[in-house]
Protein backbone atom coordinates (compact mmCIF):
# COMPACT_ATOMS: atom_id res chain seq x y z
CA UNK A 1 0.00 0.00 0.00
CA UNK A 2 1.41 3.43 -0.88
CA UNK A 3 2.38 5.59 2.16
CA UNK A 4 -0.06 8.37 1.24
CA UNK A 5 -2.92 5.94 1.14
CA UNK A 6 -1.84 4.46 4.51
CA UNK A 7 -1.88 7.92 6.15
CA UNK A 8 -5.41 8.51 4.95
CA UNK A 9 -6.75 5.17 6.20
CA UNK A 10 -4.70 4.68 9.43
CA UNK A 11 -3.98 7.96 11.29
CA UNK A 12 -0.79 8.14 13.34
CA UNK A 13 -1.61 8.17 17.07
CA UNK A 14 0.09 8.83 20.39
CA UNK A 15 0.44 6.13 23.02
CA UNK A 16 -1.19 8.03 25.87
CA UNK A 17 -3.16 6.01 28.40
CA UNK A 18 -5.85 8.70 28.29
CA UNK A 19 -6.83 7.54 24.82
CA UNK A 20 -5.62 7.72 21.27
CA UNK A 21 -5.25 11.02 19.55
CA UNK A 22 -3.99 11.66 16.04
CA UNK A 23 -0.48 13.04 16.21
CA UNK A 24 -1.16 15.54 13.47
CA UNK A 25 -3.46 17.36 15.93
CA UNK A 26 -0.59 18.16 18.35
CA UNK A 27 0.92 21.66 18.11
CA UNK A 28 4.69 21.32 18.25
CA UNK A 29 5.37 25.04 17.81
CA UNK A 30 7.83 26.48 20.33
CA UNK A 31 6.03 29.28 22.11
CA UNK A 32 9.37 30.71 23.24
CA UNK A 33 10.15 31.51 19.63
CA UNK A 34 6.94 33.53 19.38
CA UNK A 35 7.12 35.33 22.76
CA UNK A 36 10.13 37.49 23.48
CA UNK A 37 11.79 36.49 26.77
CA UNK A 38 12.36 39.15 29.46
CA UNK A 39 16.07 39.60 30.09
CA UNK A 40 17.57 39.62 33.58
CA UNK A 41 18.28 43.36 33.39
CA UNK A 42 14.76 44.13 32.23
CA UNK A 43 13.29 42.04 35.03
CA UNK A 44 15.51 43.77 37.60
CA UNK A 45 14.51 47.19 36.25
CA UNK A 46 10.83 46.24 36.35
CA UNK A 47 11.10 44.91 39.92
CA UNK A 48 12.93 48.06 40.97
CA UNK A 49 10.14 50.26 39.59
CA UNK A 50 7.52 48.10 41.33
CA UNK A 51 9.46 48.34 44.61
CA UNK A 52 9.78 52.10 44.27
CA UNK A 53 6.04 52.38 43.69
CA UNK A 54 5.39 50.30 46.82
CA UNK A 55 7.68 52.57 48.86
CA UNK A 56 6.02 55.77 47.73
CA UNK A 57 4.48 57.39 50.79
CA UNK A 58 0.79 58.13 50.33
CA UNK A 59 -1.57 60.34 52.37
CA UNK A 60 -3.14 57.13 53.69
CA UNK A 61 0.26 56.01 55.01
CA UNK A 62 0.82 59.34 56.75
CA UNK A 63 -2.65 59.22 58.29
CA UNK A 64 -2.09 55.70 59.57
CA UNK A 65 1.33 56.65 60.98
CA UNK A 66 -0.14 59.69 62.74
CA UNK A 67 -2.86 57.52 64.30
CA UNK A 68 -0.30 54.97 65.52
CA UNK A 69 1.98 57.73 66.84
CA UNK A 70 -0.85 59.35 68.82
CA UNK A 71 -1.80 55.97 70.29
CA UNK A 72 1.78 55.21 71.41
CA UNK A 73 2.28 58.69 72.89
CA UNK A 74 -1.01 58.41 74.77
CA UNK A 75 0.08 55.07 76.24
CA UNK A 76 3.43 56.54 77.33
CA UNK A 77 1.74 59.58 78.84
CA UNK A 78 -0.63 57.40 80.84
CA UNK A 79 2.38 55.57 82.37
CA UNK A 80 4.30 58.79 83.14
CA UNK A 81 4.11 60.17 86.67
CA UNK A 82 5.41 63.78 86.73
CA UNK A 83 8.00 64.55 89.37
CA UNK A 84 7.43 68.31 89.16
CA UNK A 85 4.35 70.44 89.59
CA UNK A 86 3.02 72.27 86.48
CA UNK A 87 4.48 75.56 87.82
CA UNK A 88 7.92 73.96 88.34
CA UNK A 89 7.83 72.43 84.86
CA UNK A 90 7.01 75.83 83.34
CA UNK A 91 9.93 77.43 85.21
CA UNK A 92 12.35 74.75 83.99
CA UNK A 93 11.12 75.22 80.41
CA UNK A 94 11.71 78.98 80.59
CA UNK A 95 15.21 78.52 82.05
CA UNK A 96 16.30 76.01 79.40
CA UNK A 97 14.69 77.73 76.41
CA UNK A 98 17.26 78.30 73.65
CA UNK A 99 19.86 76.07 75.34
CA UNK A 100 21.03 73.10 73.29
CA UNK A 101 20.98 69.57 74.65
CA UNK A 102 24.77 69.36 74.30
CA UNK A 103 25.16 72.44 76.51
CA UNK A 104 22.57 71.15 78.98
CA UNK A 105 24.52 67.92 79.37
CA UNK A 106 27.79 69.83 79.56
CA UNK A 107 29.50 67.80 76.83
CA UNK A 108 29.64 70.27 73.92
CA UNK A 109 33.39 70.93 74.15
CA UNK A 110 34.15 67.24 74.69
CA UNK A 111 32.18 66.35 71.57
CA UNK A 112 33.99 68.96 69.48
CA UNK A 113 37.37 67.78 70.76
CA UNK A 114 36.50 64.18 69.93
CA UNK A 115 35.40 64.94 66.37
CA UNK A 116 38.35 67.21 65.62
CA UNK A 117 40.66 64.32 66.50
CA UNK A 118 38.91 62.18 63.86
CA UNK A 119 37.44 59.81 66.45
CA UNK A 120 34.26 57.72 66.34
CA UNK A 121 31.38 59.15 68.37
CA UNK A 122 28.59 56.71 69.22
CA UNK A 123 25.22 58.08 70.37
CA UNK A 124 22.90 55.56 72.01
CA UNK A 125 19.14 55.82 71.59
CA UNK A 126 16.22 53.91 73.02
CA UNK A 127 12.77 53.23 71.63
CA UNK A 128 11.07 55.53 74.12
CA UNK A 129 13.40 58.58 74.11
CA UNK A 130 14.37 61.07 71.42
CA UNK A 131 17.51 62.41 73.07
CA UNK A 132 19.83 60.38 70.85
CA UNK A 133 18.46 61.85 67.65
CA UNK A 134 18.32 65.34 69.12
CA UNK A 135 22.02 65.00 69.91
CA UNK A 136 22.78 63.83 66.37
CA UNK A 137 21.02 66.87 64.87
CA UNK A 138 23.01 69.22 67.10
CA UNK A 139 26.31 67.39 66.60
CA UNK A 140 26.01 67.59 62.79
CA UNK A 141 25.46 71.36 63.10
CA UNK A 142 28.97 71.71 64.55
CA UNK A 143 30.41 71.09 61.07
CA UNK A 144 32.82 68.51 62.49
CA UNK A 145 31.11 65.35 61.20
CA UNK A 146 32.22 63.77 57.93
CA UNK A 147 29.77 60.86 58.01
CA UNK A 148 26.84 59.64 60.08
CA UNK A 149 26.32 55.88 60.38
CA UNK A 150 22.85 54.43 60.94
CA UNK A 151 22.37 50.99 62.44
CA UNK A 152 20.46 49.44 59.54
CA UNK A 153 21.12 46.66 57.03
CA UNK A 154 24.09 47.72 54.92
CA UNK A 155 22.86 45.45 52.10
CA UNK A 156 20.17 48.06 51.40
CA UNK A 157 22.79 50.69 50.58
CA UNK A 158 26.45 50.06 49.78
CA UNK A 159 29.09 51.79 51.89
CA UNK A 160 30.44 53.27 48.65
CA UNK A 161 27.07 54.52 47.41
CA UNK A 162 26.28 58.25 47.47
CA UNK A 163 23.05 57.95 45.47
CA UNK A 164 20.33 60.27 46.81
CA UNK A 165 17.61 58.18 45.10
CA UNK A 166 18.76 54.95 46.75
CA UNK A 167 19.05 56.74 50.09
CA UNK A 168 15.48 58.02 49.77
CA UNK A 169 14.24 54.45 49.20
CA UNK A 170 16.08 53.21 52.29
CA UNK A 171 14.78 56.09 54.43
CA UNK A 172 11.25 55.21 53.32
CA UNK A 173 11.81 51.60 54.40
CA UNK A 174 13.04 52.78 57.80
CA UNK A 175 10.13 55.22 58.15
CA UNK A 176 7.61 52.48 57.39
CA UNK A 177 9.21 50.16 59.94
CA UNK A 178 9.33 52.81 62.66
CA UNK A 179 5.74 53.95 62.07
CA UNK A 180 4.26 50.46 61.88
CA UNK A 181 2.09 49.21 64.79
CA UNK A 182 5.19 47.47 66.23
CA UNK A 183 7.47 50.47 65.64
CA UNK A 184 8.71 52.85 68.32
CA UNK A 185 7.36 56.05 66.70
CA UNK A 186 10.29 58.31 67.47
CA UNK A 187 9.31 61.97 67.43
CA UNK A 188 12.41 62.80 65.35
CA UNK A 189 12.13 60.89 62.09
CA UNK A 190 14.89 59.54 59.87
CA UNK A 191 13.75 62.03 57.24
CA UNK A 192 14.80 64.82 59.62
CA UNK A 193 18.17 63.12 60.16
CA UNK A 194 18.63 62.83 56.38
CA UNK A 195 17.60 66.46 55.78
CA UNK A 196 20.03 67.76 58.41
CA UNK A 197 22.84 65.59 57.02
CA UNK A 198 22.31 66.97 53.51
CA UNK A 199 22.23 70.54 54.86
CA UNK A 200 25.52 69.97 56.73
CA UNK A 201 27.19 68.08 53.86
CA UNK A 202 27.41 64.89 55.94
CA UNK A 203 27.41 61.50 54.20
CA UNK A 204 24.93 58.85 55.38
CA UNK A 205 26.04 55.21 55.61
CA UNK A 206 24.34 52.03 56.80
CA UNK A 207 26.58 49.92 59.01
CA UNK A 208 24.74 46.76 59.99
CA UNK A 209 24.67 43.52 58.01
CA UNK A 210 22.64 40.74 59.60
CA UNK A 211 23.23 37.35 57.98
CA UNK A 212 21.41 34.92 60.25
CA UNK A 213 18.30 34.86 62.40
CA UNK A 214 17.52 34.03 66.02
CA UNK A 215 20.29 33.23 68.49
CA UNK A 216 22.76 32.48 65.68
CA UNK A 217 22.47 35.85 63.96
CA UNK A 218 25.77 37.44 63.07
CA UNK A 219 26.19 41.15 62.46
CA UNK A 220 29.14 43.17 61.26
CA UNK A 221 28.48 46.53 62.86
CA UNK A 222 31.99 47.10 64.24
CA UNK A 223 33.73 46.09 61.03
CA UNK A 224 31.45 48.32 58.94
CA UNK A 225 32.07 51.31 61.24
CA UNK A 226 35.81 50.79 60.94
CA UNK A 227 35.46 50.61 57.13
CA UNK A 228 33.56 53.91 57.11
CA UNK A 229 36.22 55.50 59.30
CA UNK A 230 38.97 54.40 56.91
CA UNK A 231 37.17 55.36 53.68
CA UNK A 232 35.16 58.46 54.45
CA UNK A 233 36.88 60.24 57.30
CA UNK A 234 38.20 63.74 56.61
CA UNK A 235 40.94 65.73 58.29
CA UNK A 236 39.59 67.53 61.34
CA UNK A 237 36.29 65.64 61.25
CA UNK A 238 35.00 62.51 62.96
CA UNK A 239 32.41 59.81 62.35
CA UNK A 240 29.04 59.89 64.14
CA UNK A 241 27.13 56.65 64.83
CA UNK A 242 23.46 56.46 65.90
CA UNK A 243 22.88 53.07 67.51
CA UNK A 244 20.37 51.30 69.73
CA UNK A 245 21.85 51.33 73.22
CA UNK A 246 20.90 47.74 74.03
CA UNK A 247 22.37 46.42 70.79
CA UNK A 248 25.91 47.04 71.94
CA UNK A 249 25.53 44.31 74.55
CA UNK A 250 22.79 42.07 73.13
CA UNK A 251 24.02 41.55 69.56
CA UNK A 252 26.80 39.08 68.77
CA UNK A 253 29.46 39.68 66.14
CA UNK A 254 31.54 36.63 65.35
CA UNK A 255 31.63 35.40 68.92
CA UNK A 256 31.81 38.83 70.55
CA UNK A 257 29.21 41.36 71.56
CA UNK A 258 29.13 44.46 69.37
CA UNK A 259 30.83 46.61 72.00
CA UNK A 260 33.58 44.02 72.52
CA UNK A 261 34.02 43.82 68.77
CA UNK A 262 34.41 47.61 68.57
CA UNK A 263 37.01 47.42 71.34
CA UNK A 264 38.83 44.71 69.41
CA UNK A 265 38.91 46.70 66.16
CA UNK A 266 39.88 49.97 67.86
CA UNK A 267 41.98 48.55 70.73
CA UNK A 268 39.83 50.36 73.27
CA UNK A 269 38.36 49.78 76.73
CA UNK A 270 34.90 50.46 78.09
CA UNK A 271 33.97 52.04 81.42
CA UNK A 272 30.23 51.27 81.76
CA UNK A 273 29.55 53.70 84.64
CA UNK A 274 30.48 56.79 82.61
CA UNK A 275 27.99 58.71 80.52
CA UNK A 276 30.72 59.77 78.12
CA UNK A 277 33.93 57.79 77.78
CA UNK A 278 37.07 59.21 76.15
CA UNK A 279 39.76 56.90 74.79
CA UNK A 280 43.07 57.70 73.15
CA UNK A 281 42.34 55.02 70.56
CA UNK A 282 39.40 57.01 69.24
CA UNK A 283 36.17 55.60 70.62
CA UNK A 284 33.64 57.72 72.51
CA UNK A 285 30.20 56.60 73.66
CA UNK A 286 27.36 58.83 74.88
CA UNK A 287 24.28 57.42 76.60
CA UNK A 288 21.59 59.93 77.53
b/e per residue 131-163 (b: at least 16 CB within 10 A): bbbbbbbbbbebebbbbbbbbbbbebbebeeee
The pLDDT profile of the chain, 288 residues, written as one tens digit per residue, is 555 655 555 555 555 555 555 555 555 555 555 556 778 888 888 888 887 777 777 788 888 888 887 877 777 667 655 565 555 555 455 444 556 777 777 778 888 887 888 888 888 777 666 678 888 899 999 999 998 988 776 666 666 667 777 777 777 777 776 766 666 667 788 888 889 999 999 988 887 766 555 555 556 677 777 777 777 667 788 888 887 766 665 555 665 666 566 665 554 444 333 344 444 445 555 554
What is the pTM (predicted TM-score) of this model?
0.58
Residue 255 has, within 13 A of its CA and on its CB side, a CA count of 1
Listed residue (211, 191, 207, 210) closest to 199, CA to CA? 191
Residue 129 CA to residue 138 CA, distance in Å, equals 16
Q: Taking a C-beta distance cutoff of 8 angstroms, is the pair 277, 123 a contact?
A: no
Residue 238 CA to residue 96 CA, distance in Å, equals 28
- Where are the strands (E) in 48-138, listed by range? 120-125
What is the pLDDT, as a whole number, of residue 288? 45
Amino acid sequence: MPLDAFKKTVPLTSGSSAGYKPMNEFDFKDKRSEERQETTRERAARQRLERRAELTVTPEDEARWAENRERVLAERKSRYVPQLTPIEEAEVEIETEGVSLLETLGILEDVKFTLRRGYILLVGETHSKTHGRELCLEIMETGLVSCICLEFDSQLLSLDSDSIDELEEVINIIEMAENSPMGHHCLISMQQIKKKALECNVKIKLVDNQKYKGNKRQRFLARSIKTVLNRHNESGKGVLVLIGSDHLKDITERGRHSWQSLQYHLHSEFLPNYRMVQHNSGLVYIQV
